[in-house]
Chains A and B, each alone.
Chain A
Amino acid sequence: MQRTWFPLAFWPGALLVALILWYVLETLYRLPPPGDALQIEQVERLVGHAAAPAGLAAAGWQPVRLPEDWLHDGIDGTEVWYRARIDLDVPPNRLWAILLPGVNLAAAVYFNGELIGASQHLEEPLSQDWNRPLLFTIPNGHLRPGANDLHVRVLSYPSGHGFMAPVYLGPEELLRPSFQDRTFVQIQLSRFITMGTAFMSVFLGLIWWLRRSEAVYGWLALSTLFWSAHSLKYHVSSIPVTSFEWAGLLFLTAVGFSTAVSMFMIRFTEVRRPWMERLLLGHAALAIVVLLVLTLLGTDVMYTAAQWFVSVAILLAGINFVRMAARIRHLSETDFYLVGAAVLIVLVVGVRDWVLILGFMERSRGQYTQYAIPLLLGVLGLVLVNRFVQALRANERFTEELTATVDAKTRELERRHAEIRELERERALAEERERLMRDMHDGAGGHLVSSMALLRAKGLDDPDVTRALREALTDLRLMIDSLDPVDDDLNTVLGMLRDRMQQPLAASGLSADWRLEPLPPLRELRPEQVLQILRILQEALTNVIRHAGAARVTVTAEYDRERNLARICVGDDGRGLGDGSRRGRGLTNMATRAERLGGRLNLEDAGPGTRVCLEIPYAADTDRA
């Protein structure tokens, strides 16, 4: 597939999808405040430490409007107190609660001086509740008519820069559904996504383990692994290390994820880019070393360094995405657009989140990357699995074709073997015939010829003896002829007969008329049958020469289409059968031979003369062409 860039129509489409996702998330995060609940925005803030509201200084409180971001307001502390006074005309008779939709990092809530709820860990390692809505019910009797005091203690860590979103106060039954919705989207969904990507990571990792040469699977497995680790920040509250160290580790996973994705995109194009790969891996290695050292040293410089490293990693990922989009050649149409759209969405959402994390946006609005990344990883996984399946299918097809080819070859081989066997059989027959012939040539045949010459030389030239010897020689010749492969061709047999009988007929002074019509092939015409046919016809001709007293002999061959048989006749214009006594035994012999052939012998009085006909039937399915 030759494609250099996405078509123009792709961009608005993909961008629209990204914006819709953004809007949906934005709306989810901005759940409308429950109808009757109070939204508390105007508060007073005090930077300082106290175990309880009672221990707070009276002076130094400053009015602020929520949401407040410590980063923007230049607060470089680890503990900030917020307070608000709520006037209630009539104390409610229902259970009330207080909802904190966004607090970085941990919080404790006091109502009228008494602790009504708090994050799990208020000492390092602090609870990581920045993405977790907090809902605390106000026990009965704590609300009183007139002024009520709300104190919220927000804890962070050095350079951790807390923030505080507006707080809602109202009936518990009103606030709880909102709290549950947020918890579901921000915590449970996030946890589910982490599990999903972790599972995918294991799956892809296994594929890579089994097929090391396919590095794309490895890099995508690593990408999903890094993302699974990084996404813990969205829903894990209790951490095993200090908040600062945790932050350092999260930055590391972010760099790792970005680098692995870049490597995947390079390898996915199937065109390596060594210097870019070295740059990516070098940058990642440097980030790991520097961030680990700075984290262990516990110095604030870690943040600045981390922000640079992550920024560079994201920039490199963007470059590699552009390159991949331009270079990709082997994706199907659908896969191509799916991957393109998913990457675009991640880039849009990722840039938005990064801008937010850097503090250029209201941080309590929450991060969206966690919802976009699984989309991308899912699409990439789908494409890879699809490719894997395609490869399997291609393999199956190949195997099928191979099997078919092997089968065809096997059949071909069997056919050839059969041919070879047939040829060998023919060769064996030919060899045997040659041996027989050599023997007869030098032996019987030669002796017969010599005997005739000898008789003549000694003046013992009795015509009967000479004829008997000559017939013996002719018979030998017919035997030899019958061993000749005739390929089921009766015409050849008649040709042989004609060759052999030419001389005796000429010697007898008979005029011979051969009227041979072409006969169809007779299947399974074996040497013994050829010999039977030759002998029957030879005998018929010899009878004519010896006994018929004829002047003319006619040999005819014709195919009887109606009765599906070959009819070969020897007719003469001689005396006819007459008493028949001298020819009786010869005829009986001929008839027996004809029966052995599966045919029959007919004797006709042709007046004048006789006609002997040999009928050889064809098998029912013989091609009559």
Chain B
Amino acid sequence: MAPIPVLVIEDDPMTREPLIDKIEQDPGLRVCGAAGDLRSGRQLIAAGEARVALMDLGLPDGDGTELILEATARTPPMEVMVITVFGDERHVVRAIEAGATGYLLKDAEADSIARSIHDLLAGGSPISTSIARYLLRRFRREQSAGAGEPAAHLTPREIEVLEVVSRGYSNAEIGRLLELSLHTVNSHIKNIYRKLAVRSRSEAVFEAVQQGLIHIDKGP
């Protein structure tokens, strides 16, 4: 099986280069391109070779979320992981809303990076207690506000998964607790991420229509 092509977009070379090294250590992965800014990153995405893109949000010439949007809008879509120092929920959720389905700590060890990438392609998205709590809190706030759709049509099962994650259980433990396979737990989390992205995109379109940036052609 050919190694999976991976794209690295990170402005700090002291982070980028070790990251590339760590990825290359895994025989199943290969770095097909690396960029340090938005412009060259965009070209690499447009080239469309990569299946996975690792991205930093804070790029010198702009916001990395733009690139995430472009990467995930492709057919077939690239899987995007955001590179973060702290894995804090605001950083990660912002990336998830743009379409990312995973995150990676900047100082992660080589094997953990490779595992994360393979997990992601197998359908598993990482989640932390903080992120789960953040999503639950937001869901409950929107629900109690009563206005509009509650957070992206999360199913009761998905909410249950988030609740258990927020109590500090690992995915395997969640599977035992809720009597789900590990695979199902992982796909629940990925679905939650996708729903957040879809909703944030429809909100963006709505916002744009409202502001007159987009005109919807009603047809003849």
Contacts and interface: CB of A to CB of B under 8 A. Distances in A.
7 contacts: A437-B86, A440-B86, A446-B106, A449-B85, A495-B128, A495-B133, A518-B167
Contact of A498 (B87, B105, B112, B129): B129
Contact of B58 (A442, A456, A473): A442
B87 to A, nearest CB: 8
Interface in B93-137: 105-109, 112, 128-130, 132-134, 137
B48 interface: no
Given A492-B166, A492-B167, A457 B86 contact: no
A492 B88 contact: no
B157 interface: no
Interface string A567-602: 000000000000000000000000000000000000
A503 B112 contact: yes
A496 B88 CA distance: 11
Nearest to A469: B107
Given A441-B58, A457-B18, A503-B105, A477 B167 contact: no
Contact of B86 (A445, A498, A516): A445
A476 B133 CA distance: 20
Nearest to B57: A441
A334 to B, nearest CB: 51
A57 to B, nearest CB: 111
Nearest to B133: A492
Contacts of B88: 437, 480
Given A441-B85, A484-B89, A446 B130 contact: no
Contacts of B90: 434, 437
A39 interface: no
A494 interface: yes
A516 B15 contact: no
A514 B167 contact: no
B168 interface: yes
B86 A499 contact: no
Interface in A448-481: 448-450, 452-454, 456-457, 470, 473, 476-477, 480-481
B49 interface: no
A484 B130 contact: yes
A481 B105 contact: no
A446 B106 CA distance: 8
Contacts of B130: 481, 484, 496, 499
A491 B89 contact: no
A514 B86 contact: no
Interface residues of A, number: 39
Contacts of B132: 495
A146 B155 CA distance: 129
Contacts of B89: 484
Contacts, number: 99
* 9 interchain residue pairs of minimum CB distance: A495-B168, A495-B129, A445-B85, A450-B14, A491-B167, A453-B18, A449-B106, A499-B128, A453-B14
B108 A514 contact: no
B30 interface: no
Contacts of A507: 109
Q: Which of B18, B130, B132 has the most CB of A within 10 A?
A: B130
Interface in A344-393: none
Contact of B108 (A434, A498, A503): A503
B17 interface: yes
Contacts of B128: 495-496, 499
Interface string B137-150: 10000000000000
B107 A476 contact: no
B127 to A, nearest CB: 9
A477 B128 CA distance: 13
Contacts of B14: 449-450, 453-454, 457
A506 interface: yes
B170 interface: yes
A477 B86 contact: yes
Contacts of B51: none
Contact of A457 (B17, B84, B108): B17
Given A437-B88, A456-B18, A449 B107 contact: yes
A441 B86 contact: yes
B203 interface: no
Contact of A446 (B12, B133, B168, B173): B12
B126 to A, nearest CB: 10
Contacts of B170: 498, 514
